[in-house]
Amino acid sequence: MQTYFESELTKLRKRIAKMLNLTTGQIDKSFQVLLNGDMEMISQIKSDENKVDKLDIKIDKLCQRIFALAQPVAGDLRFIMASLRIGTEMERISDMAYEITQRSESVSQYPEILSRYEMPGLLDQIRKLFTQLNEAFSNNNSMLAYEIIGRCKEREEDCKTIFRDIVTQMTKKSNVIVIATDLILIIRNLERIIGHMENIAESVIFIADAKIVRHPRLGAGKEQANQEAAEEVKDKE
């Protein structure tokens, strides 16, 4: 029989999983709107956004209650701290998925331009990454989370390349100019979504391995500073 504390942790995990599923559905629907011009889905996406917002608040309140009443430590404490961050990241992804649909009506009318920038392939890869993110969280799979981070960085570079290509083509082809502003904003939102997915993967690693993998450049700088300090001591000897 579960204790009160265990019951609250189970409830928190279920809410995070539900939020991940809702956000995954939003991503899938927003991409369908972009590629197929299925504008009827926008109301569903907005409804899901409201559900995600409510879940974010519930998760925040539940975490506060657990902190106040249970005084968690070690792995449980990491899970609760990471859950707060994951909730925030998914709420932002949800907002951006809806923003993409607001820019999709004009863009979806030019499938040849979307194909030229290989947008269908990029969207499919982002969708698959989100599915893997669900799996990594559900199974506390830090190895998969590390792989997701690497792939997210690749997809971010893809977004930057597409952005530069669009800006270049704007000066050459008038049919690109018609949708350039909306397409650029969609690309920027996709890049931000990928960044938030990366943050969620980092939180999974924190839960599973108790490792903070944010700001790798700072970590590299610290390692280099420690090495230089050690060499300096050695020289003095």
- Reported as type and span, the H/E element at residue 182 is helix 174-209
- Rounded to an integer, what distance in angstroms lies between the CA atom of residue 100 and that of residue 184? 11
Residue 100 Ramachandran class (φ > 0 left, ψ -120 to 50 alpha, else beta): alpha
| Mean pLDDT in residue range 198-221 | 78
The boundaries of the domain holding residue 164 are 4-215
Is residue 149 scored above 80 in pLDDT?
Answer: yes
Please tell me the total count of domains within the chain. 1
Evaluate whether residue 64 is within a structural domain. Answer: yes
Evaluate whether residue 233 is within a structural domain. Answer: no
Relative orientation angle of helices 42-70 and 4-36, to the nearest 10 degrees? 160
CA dist 222 → 66, 109, 153, 215, 225 (Å): 35, 50, 22, 11, 5
Confidence of residue 216 (pLDDT cuts 50, 70, 90): low
Given a contact cutoff of 8 angstroms between Cβ atoms, the answer to whether 34 and 48 are in contact is no
Q: Which residue has the tokens 């009443």?
A: 69
pLDDT at 167: 83
- Rounded to an integer, what distance in angstroms lies between the CA atom of residue 198 and that of residue 200? 5
pLDDT at 136: 94
Evaluate whether residue 234 is within a structural domain. Answer: no
| Mean pLDDT in residue range 143-166 | 93
| Mean pLDDT in residue range 125-131 | 93
Evaluate whether residue 173 is within a structural domain. Answer: yes
Q: In the numeric block, which tokens belong to residue 97?
A: 């998925």
Is residue 100 scored above 80 in pLDDT?
Answer: yes
- Rounded to an integer, what distance in angstroms lies between the CA atom of residue 204 and that of residue 82? 8
Evaluate whether residue 237 is within a structural domain. Answer: no
Question: What CATH number should be reported for the domain holding residue 10?
Answer: 1.20.58.220
Evaluate whether residue 221 is within a structural domain. Answer: no
